Amino acid sequence: MSDRDKLVVEVIGAHNLMPKDGEGSSSAYVEVEFENKKLRTGSKQKDLNPVWNERLVFDLPDPAGLPYRSIDVSVFNDRKSAAGAGGRNFLGRVRISGSTVASGKDDFCAVQMYSLEKRSLFSHVRGEITLKIYLSTEEGRVVVDGESKPQKQLKKQKQKPNQNQQQQSQNSKKQQKPQEQQQKQVQRTVQQDPIPSDVKPVVITAASSGGPPPEMYPHGGFGFVGSGGAGGADFALKETKPLIGGSAPIRDKMSSTYDLVEQMQYLYVRVVKARDLPMGDSVQAEVKLGNYRGITKRGVEWDQVFAFSKDTIQSSTVEVFVRERDKDDFIGRVAFDLGEVPRRVPPDSTLAPQWYRMEDKKGEKAKGEVMASVWFGTQADEAFSEAWHSKAAGVQPDGLGSIKSKVYLSPKLWYLRITVFEAQDIVVPSAGGGRYPELFVKAQLGGQALRTRGLSAPLWNEDLMFVVSEPFDDYLSVTIEDRVAPGRDDVLGRVALPIAAIERRMDDKPVVSRWFGLGEPKAARFGTGRVHLRLCLDGGYHVLDESTAYSSDVRPTEKKLWRPHVGVLEMGILGATNLMPTKLLKDGKGGGTADPYCVAKYGNKWVRTRTVVNSASPRWNEQYTWEVADPCTVITIGVFDNCRVDGGGGGGARDARIGKVRIRLSTLESDKVYTHAYPLLVLHPSGVKKMGELHLAVRFTCTSVASVLQLYGRPLLPKMHYVEPLTVRLVEMLRYQATNAVAARLGRAEPPLGREVVEYMLDHGAHAWSMRRSKANFFRLVSVLSGILAFGRWVESVRSWHRPIRSVVAVSAFLLFDLCPELILPSVFLATAMVGLWRYRGRPRYPPHMDTRLSYAESVYVDELDEEFDTFPTSRGPEVVRMRYDRLRSVAGRIQTVVGDLATQGERMQALLSWRDPRATFLFVVFCFVLAAGFYTVPMRVVVGVWGVYAMRPPRFRNRMPSPMLSFFRRLPTRADSLL
């Protein structure tokens, strides 16, 4: 044979394939046909960006005739990998002329990327495939039944199909490990070094036989910015096995209530006060342990706690010095031997402090005593949150308050509704000369102001709504004004009303309206009149301060309407790893540093961990608990970099965002501890970046399973949202007011929770226009509709008789149902229930997380990111362009929301049998069994008749509340939780 008697087609990978399995993904394989011979690769399960790196080798008897032949490369979805399915779906094809095959050695052949083409006019195809085609004399590997094997061994394998299978499987796994490691390294490289917008993608020559993974090639074309795929290990959710309290080999009393974190040992020193000192009150205490020391405030009564991490202890004694102000010499000291220090474990009572006689420099008794206590404990100790920590020794005194862990409570928010009816006896002095007055009512509360439309006659009948927070210390100002000219309004009367005096209501019963006399704005020469208003504080609504897709609380404002909680959410914030530095070092040179802390928000309870100073891998190990009133809610956890450590809280300093995680409680199984490392992903103008990993331990416990299951039939929001619904635009405006109210209240706490933290946790500004989000929502909708299209293709395949056996079975079933129509609905519900039970084996084991592929962040363009991070209004052009650009973004933002809502409804349909919410799927499966039995026993005509009469009943017999089925449907989880 010559040295060119083999045609080698290396299938490296594909990118952005069309999902075909009805779950938003595909199990793709490649089939190559040359000279009536077909070879195929293995199937990559549920991956829209598969990587094969497999070589398919064809015999080439006549190399001279290769330029006159073609190579057909087709990509298919392997439906054998899906439960209960078979066959394949077409994903695209490429026809390559033999004249383009490289004639040199395979080491110098270039890798080429081809766009996948349609097979017919109605084919749905997208994506690219990366190939390397050359001539060689080497043997390759082909795939038979999903297993890769050398060609020379095919005949032997056919003769002995059951031998050495286990050994071959182990060898295949060993060969895949280097490729996976190489893929991870490439993804890190691309993540750290995104492709500039002014550099065109180049073809990279593959030096190895396997070829590099496709992540090395900029599939997005010119200006593409990406950092790997969601399927890569960098952006994946990882299960961890921390040594938390529940898994510790030796359990103590702390493990029963503080068992979701790793135990951290601390030496606590409480210095209370001193007495009988010769110097008076100008003294301070100093606690010293090895190289660490903490200093109290000045005076004789301190009551401060110092905590020294046990892994940093390098001394056998801890000393307490009492020093005179601004002097180095000490008045006296007390030393404690660490070998004699007791150990305290909650819920033991706190250790009582004692008076200790001090010693001078010579070891003799000095005048004065100090009250102190010393003990060993863990982070479960009550003194942990208020203690001065040894690892914060370098923090300035002004910044010590900002590094402590705290629990915050959001203010109680109310909707204030003002109904403006009419006004009487209003005198308009500026009217005349043929000008008609333009009267309107303006209501102002703090920095918020709303107004009615302008009318010539004072009859408005309009509602104005505000968000107010307790305590009600403000006054509502209502004025009647006349628009005299553009930019000029005359005040005709004013009334000021205290918010605390306004009536509260819990239902839709109207509040009695009143006439209010208008005071004179100036020394009036005319009567000021009166205005007819109805004021009430609506406590039956839930004031939305979060995005409705990620709401953590759906209870009404009035506590009398609250139902008992149905569960408890426990979260252990263990730590983070590989955090990206966000601040330069103090000398301004290389590297960088971070002072991270974590914030978790659920309901009205916010928690903030302590700040770990100068650490890229902080260990918090703090545990918090929330009462859960509804499991169909979301908890949000964010990581931030503290900018106030050095006392720089002023000057508009803002804590940097490192990333956040959202977890929907309904996707968690009861009483199961989830320990995972969540990737912290943030979108920057240069692309999506991984800022580190957050390690959490989460457990959701139900107090009563029956109560939780009963909730699925109740409305998601309180009754008032359905009896007197608010418009979408009004809800968004009120949400903006609620965010400002929460940020203002938490900003006055100590330590304050910055506005930038509150806005990031509440997704403030998430509804702004973004080309990336619009694409993500569109493809979510396409993924939902792909199931309907797949069913249509299946019906067409049955009609075409491509598979006679399947067609015969389908026609027989149709004739059976035609003869016995009463079996249709029972069979459909029974089959649906069986599919749900079958999918129970493949239910998601991990909670959902941020998905860069679903968010369309892995193949975003530079100009799209520039548009997303642009200011509003835009700063990219002249005034005309600015006006048009802002209008486009406003309209497109609403379209984006509508598309997302449509996708949400479809994803809820998919969630019925996906076991993402195990309780909801269980209820639906049981419901299907009941319906199957009911439709089997009750005649179909009776069912249709009863349903028709029920659907056409008069409006007076209808309830304005949503039905249990609709309420159940609205509680189902969606993939919106995974959007970045």
- The torsion angles phi and psi of 822, rounded to 5 degrees, stand at -70, -10
- CB half-sphere exposure, 122, CA atoms < 13 A: 5
Query: How does pLDDT run across 101-125, given as a tens digit for each residue?
Result: 866 544 446 678 888 888 766 677 8
Q: What is the mean pLDDT of residues 696-711?
A: 91
Lowest mean pLDDT among 246-250, 651-655, 789-793, 809-813: 246-250
The pLDDT value recorded for residue 584 is 62
Q: What is the mean pLDDT of residues 499-517?
A: 91
Lowest mean pLDDT among 201-215, 316-330, 799-813: 201-215
Q: What is the mean pLDDT of residues 496-506?
A: 92
Residue 945 has pLDDT above 50, yes or no: yes
Residue 977 has pLDDT above 90, yes or no: no
Q: Using 50, 70 and 90 to split pLDDT, how confident is the model at 588?
A: low
Q: 90 Cβ partners below 8 Å, 6+ apart?
A: 74, 75, 76, 77, 119, 123, 125
Q: Using 50, 70 and 90 to split pLDDT, how confident is the model at 140?
A: very low
The pLDDT value recorded for residue 230 is 39
Residue 223 has pLDDT above 50, yes or no: no
Biggest CA–CA distance in the chain, Å, is 115
Q: 570 Cβ partners below 8 Å, 6+ apart?
A: 260, 623, 624, 625, 698, 699, 700, 701
Rounded to whole angstroms, the Cα distance separating 568 from 628 reads 5
Higher pLDDT, 224 or 539: 539
Residue 148 has pLDDT above 50, yes or no: no
Q: What is the mean pLDDT of residues 826-845?
A: 90
List strands edge to edge, sheet with 488-498: 448-451, 439-445, 475-485, 488-498
Question: Do you find a cis peptide bond into 873, omega within 30 degrees of 0?
Answer: yes
- CB half-sphere exposure, 272, CA atoms < 13 A: 13
The pLDDT value recorded for residue 166 is 44
Q: What is the number of other CB atoms lying within 10 angstroms of the CB of residue 498?
A: 11
Higher pLDDT, 903 or 245: 903
Query: How does pLDDT run across 435-445, given as a tens digit for each residue?
Result: 788 899 999 99
Higher pLDDT, 133 or 798: 133
Query: How does pLDDT run across 478-494, given as a tens digit for each residue?
Result: 999 988 888 888 888 88
The pLDDT value recorded for residue 4 is 53
Q: In this structure, are strands 504-505 and 530-538 parallel, antiparallel, or unpaired?
A: parallel
The pLDDT value recorded for residue 249 is 45
Residue 122 DSSP symbol:
T
Q: List the beta strands (DSSP E) in 563-644.
A: 567-577, 596-602, 605-608, 619-628, 634-641
Residue 224 has pLDDT above 50, yes or no: no
Residue 252 DSSP symbol:
-
Q: What is the mean pLDDT of residues 295-316?
A: 84
Query: How does pLDDT run across 852-905, given as a tens digit for each residue?
Result: 888 878 777 776 777 777 777 777 777 767 766 776 777 778 778 888 888 888
pTM: 0.68
Q: Which amino acid is at 129?
A: I
Query: How does pLDDT run across 758-804, given as a tens digit for each residue?
Result: 999 998 877 777 778 888 888 888 888 888 888 888 888 887 787 88
Q: Using 50, 70 and 90 to split pLDDT, how confident is the model at 329?
A: confident
Query: How does pLDDT run across 713-747, given as a tens digit for each residue?
Result: 999 999 999 999 999 889 999 999 999 999 999 99
Mean pLDDT of the chain: 79
Q: Is 638 helix (H, G, I), strand (E, B) or coil?
A: strand
Q: What is the mean pLDDT of residues 67-85?
A: 77
